[in-house]
């Protein structure tokens, strides 16, 4: 799995001009799934994301977790994280998970985040979505379960 995490002050996702998910302070997660991903990958990501300390404390240091600031997550499925761009100018997405498998893993990932007490809003898997956010910092971090 690959996850791009962005610390935000606010974010929302819309489908056909209708807001389907919205948060204030927290993370926007762009989530990509490959066919070889497992429940172990989900557990690893949930632990890393929920315990990541990138919010500022009273001294201005990145020392607080999302839970410490009562933040929320906006999770967006993103198969294009697996784009291969080495050849030509048109990306290939063959390393992205098959849609049925990826949909299940994405749902399990979001459920696991909720199980640790994080509020999670989502887009719609496979939909054409418009995501808007105010990136705070900016702080953007890439997680890849192949690099754990």
Domain range spanning residue 73? 2-144
**Is 78 a known active-site residue?**
yes
Average per-residue pLDDT for the chain: 96
Residue 80 annotated as catalytic: yes
pLDDT value, residue 56: 96
Q: Among 24, 145, 133, which residue's Cα sits nearest to residue 81?
A: 145
What's the average model confidence in pLDDT over 125-133? 96
What is the distance between the alpha carbons of residues 27 and 139, in angstroms, rounded to a whole number?
10
Residue 13 token pair: 């996702």
The whole-angstrom distance between residue 68's C-alpha and the CA centroid of its chain comes to 19
CATH code of the domain covering residue 9: 3.50.80.10
pLDDT above 90 for 117: yes
Cα 27 to chain centroid, rounded: 7
Q: For residue 41, what are the contacts with CB-CB under 8 A and spacing of at least 6? A: 1, 145
Calculate what percentage of the chain has a pLDDT beyond 70. 100
CA distances from 18 to 11, 26, 123, 128 (A): 14, 21, 11, 12
Contact predicate 119/85, CB 8 Å: no
Q: What is the mean pLDDT of residues 49-59?
A: 97
Catalytic, out of 12, 55, 79, 143 = 79
Does pLDDT of 48 surpass 90? yes
Among residues 40, 67, 80, 104, which one is catalytic? 80
Q: Does the predicted TM-score (pTM) go above 0.75?
A: yes
Task: Compute the average pLDDT of residues 95-114.
Answer: 96
| 18-40: pLDDT as tens digits | 999 999 999 999 999 999 999 99
**Number of domains within the chain:** 1
pLDDT for residue 37: 97
Average pLDDT of span 118-141? 96
Percent of the chain, pLDDT > 90?
93
78, 109, 125, 143: the catalytic one is 78
pLDDT band, residue 131 (cuts 50/70/90)? very high
Q: Report CA-CA distances (Å) from 69 to 24, 64, 102, 103, 116.
A: 11, 7, 30, 29, 15
């Amino acid at each position: 799995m690959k996850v791009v995490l962005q610390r935000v002050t606010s974010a929302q996702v819309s489908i056909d001009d209708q807001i389907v998910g919205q948060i204030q302070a927290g993370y926007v997660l762009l989530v990509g799934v490959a066919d070889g991903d497992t429940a172990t990958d989900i557990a690893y990501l949930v632990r890393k994301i929920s315990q990541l300390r990138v919010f500022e404390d009273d001294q201005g240091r990145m020392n607080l977790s999302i839970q410490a600031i009562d933040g929320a997550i906006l999770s967006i499925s993103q198969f294009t994280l697996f784009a291969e761009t080495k050849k030509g100018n048109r990306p290939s997405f063959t390393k992205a998970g098959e849609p049925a498998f990826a949909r299940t893993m994405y749902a399990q990932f979001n459920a696991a985040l909720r199980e640790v007490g994080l509020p999670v809003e989502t887009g719609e898997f496979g939909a054409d979505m418009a995501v808007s956010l105010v990136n705070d910092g900016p702080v953007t971090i890439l997680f890849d379960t192949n690099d754990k």
